[in-house]
Amino acid sequence: MGTDRRPIGVLGGMGPQASCRLYSLLTELAVADYGADSNDSYPEVVLLSVPVPDFIGDDQKRPSAVAMLQDRLRRAEALEPVCWGISCNTVHVVIPELQPVTRAPFVSMIEEVVDVAVGLGVEAIGLLSTPMTRKYGLYREALAARGLPSLDVTDEQAETIEGVIRDVLSGQNSPAQAAVLGALGDELVRRGAGGLILGCTELSLAFPQAAKPYPVIDCLQVFARTLLDVYYGRREAPACR
């Protein structure tokens, strides 16, 4: 496949485990979807794992965190990435502040996941998401714009999901957490959802996807496929809508 392609840029570290999983998926799917079988047939990936403060929902930390991300993007500009992706759903809220400092377009994980959800042809989709993702309405609004109703967890259940994510960030995955998340997904399906969106990248590491009889949309898998399609030239880098 050659080595003259422009690299995929990933703005990661939010959190590190999800960023690692995204890189693993880029490697695995390069084999499965593009037949990568030697060093020079895998994608070149620029992964910036940036230890920004937890700024979502904290207006005092947001300016310094955004400044850190802008600085790293400027430093990476010389590498000429074909596109940028962020390995965190909620951090997509600051893309309008990041895009002006780089020539490479940001790909929206949210929009790519919504495309897949709409393609399922279901009457409603369930959302497993955190309090902050719910607050910003990232998936809810994007789904509504495409005419697909969404079913959300309760405030209390969102706090439970947040606790699981905190455990993942501290390296404490467990079967008990998977069972809790699985039960929340099952409840949304009983309420009428025809499938489920994992609306936080850490959920890709904790949700028992293989055991479910309904479609589960893993945002990291969807995103990895999109980034690979752009890298290998199957599609143009889509701008955030």
Residues 89 and 114 in one domain: no
Cβ-based neighbours of 222, under 8 Å, separated by 6 or more: 109, 112, 113, 116
Residues 122 and 96 in one domain: no
- Residue 240: pLDDT over 60: no
Residues 16 and 82 in one domain: yes
Is 240 a domain residue? Answer: no
pLDDT band at 3 (very low <50, low <70, confident <90, very high): low
Contact 198, 207 (CB under 8 A): yes
What b/e readout covers 128-147, taking b as 16+ CB neighbours within 10 angstroms?
bbbbbbbebebbbebbeeee
**The total number of structural domains that make up the chain:** 2
Is 178 a domain residue? Answer: yes
Residue range of the domain that includes 207: 110-218
Residues 159 and 97 in one domain: no
Distance CA 120, CA 126 (A): 12
Q: What is the CATH classification number for the domain harbouring 155?
A: 3.40.50.1860
Q: With a threshold of 0.85, does the pTM exceed it?
A: yes
What are the tens digits of pLDDT across the range 104-124?
A: 999 999 999 999 999 999 999
Residues 88 and 126 in one domain: no
Distance CA 138, CA 143 (A): 9
